[in-house]
A and B are shown apart, each in its own frame.
Chain A
Amino acid sequence: MNARTESEVAPMKNRTTVERKSERELVVTRTVNGPARLVFEAWTRPELFRQWWVPKSLGMSLLSCDMDVRVGGRYRLEFAHGDSRAAFFGTYKEVTPHSRLVWTNEESDEGSVTTVTFAEQGGKTLLVMHELYPSKEALDAAGTGAADAMAETFDQLDELLVTLAASSGRREK
């Protein structure tokens, strides 16, 4: 007989950290409740990926999401934000199931190389996302949004940030 597991306690919200490791590197970490196998799936199957990559609070929508997840395979994501459109695209450089993904961001000459590692421990998965930019200036620009294709103009970025700030203050998670 199977005991129903409805008494599961809502897990504590996991913490996301961002650190600038060097002039050209940014590292984001987060623990996800679930085995690496499933977390990896959520990063590599487009129908799952599109469910989380563009949270509503970003004020954007994902128009299309093509991912050919294998070494040398390409991806392309198209976004809409108001009347503007933006595309992100690049190539997968390394695909090691359940442990490591590396891809390039080719929408600009100053694009970063992103490495994500998946480390499972006790049924949870520690995600470490490492972004390496070609120069300090490129990382600065990505940070201040100067080269941020997500927000084609500063007005839009501004608007987006205000929305983010407002929604995080108003809505309880």
Chain B
Amino acid sequence: MVQYTQARLDGSFAALSDATRRGVLEQLGRSDASITDLAEKFDMTLTGMKKHVGVLEEAGLVTTEKVGRVRTCRLGPRRLEEETAWLERYRRVWDARFDELDKVVAELTRKEKVDERKNRE
């Protein structure tokens, strides 16, 4: 399970660790585009852009379809899933944090009660 998760995360983080690839995802979020469009937009060779798109495709973040001589790229099925996943990761961080906050507040409450008791005595 952890192995599987790790492999998945490795793939998507490696894919996202490059500024051009993040830019490509952003671009595809606005509209589908051909490899040629993307290469032009990012001022790259066709071969270079093909490589980047390949990495994104491998990670499930982008799908491509060749119609005639043009390969069109669009956001892949992982996109929504990723969005949910990062919200869940974010939630877990806050959940862990707030669990600790609960402890701190419980301790403050306990101390206050002790002080009140002392004052009454």
Chain A interface residues toward B at CB < 8 A: 2, 5, 11, 13-14, 16-20, 26, 28, 30, 32-35, 38-39, 41-42, 48, 51-55, 57-58, 127, 129, 137, 140-141, 143-146, 153-155, 157-158, 161-162, 164-166, 168-169, 173
Contacts and interface: CB of A to CB of B under 8 A. Distances in A.
Contacts of B108: 34, 38, 41-42, 48
B86 A144 contact: yes
B40 interface: no
B13 A51 contact: no
Contact of A52 (B1, B82, B97, B113): B97
A134 to B, nearest CB: 15
Ranked 5 nearest A-B pairs via Cβ = A52-B100, A34-B105, A16-B95, A154-B13, A55-B96
Contacts of B58: none
Contact of B94 (A28, A35, A51): A28
B5 interface: yes
Interface of B: 1-2, 5-6, 9-10, 13-14, 16-17, 22, 26, 82-83, 86-106, 108-109, 112-113, 117
6 contacts: A11-B102, A18-B90, A51-B103, A55-B100, A137-B26, A143-B87
Contacts of B88: 18
Given A143-B86, A158-B10, A168 B92 contact: yes
A30 B100 CA distance: 12
A58 B86 contact: no
Given A34-B106, A143-B87, A169-B1, A162 B98 contact: no
Nearest to A5: B113
A165 B2 contact: yes
A18 B94 contact: yes
B3 to A, nearest CB: 10
Contacts of B22: 141, 144, 146
Nearest to B91: A18
A51 B100 contact: yes
B106 A33 contact: yes
A38 B112 contact: yes
A16 B87 CA distance: 12
Contacts of A34: 102, 105-106, 108-109
Given A52-B100, A145-B16, 16 more contacts: A14-B98, A18-B90, A30-B95, A32-B102, A32-B105, A33-B109, A41-B108, A51-B103, A53-B97, A54-B97, A55-B100, A140-B26, A146-B22, A162-B9, A164-B96, A173-B99
